Amino acid sequence: MVEFSKGLIILHAQFSRKSGVLSLFRKDIPVSRANVVLVDHVDQPGKEVVTELGKVDLRVPSDANPAIYVVQHSREIELVLFGGARK
């Protein structure tokens, strides 16, 4: 289990290695289907929306910011986030 909090915002995530399921804001996500998610409305407790962005290779260089690296190196994630608007 992982929990982060900032003011009224609390992110609580739980991962079961046995089932391979991540539980995040009342949504269960099999990591075989998606290992990158977006949480929208995180600043509105109880109204969070979890969107599966896809499954990508999460190996990143040790000096890289993982979130930025994944977006910059995954065309699939970039398309979901930006709709192909970026070049």
DSSP 44: S
pLDDT of residue 31: 93
Helix (H) or strand (E) holding 70: helix 66-73
Residue with tokens 């003011």: 7
Q: What is the pTM of this model?
A: 0.72
**Looking at residue 84, what is its pLDDT?**
60
Q: What is the mean pLDDT of each run of 10 residues along the chain (87 residues)?
A: 80 92 94 91 89 88 92 85 67
- pLDDT at site 74: 87
Cα angle for residues 5, 8, 81 (degrees, 5° grid): 70
**59 token code pair:** 């190996």
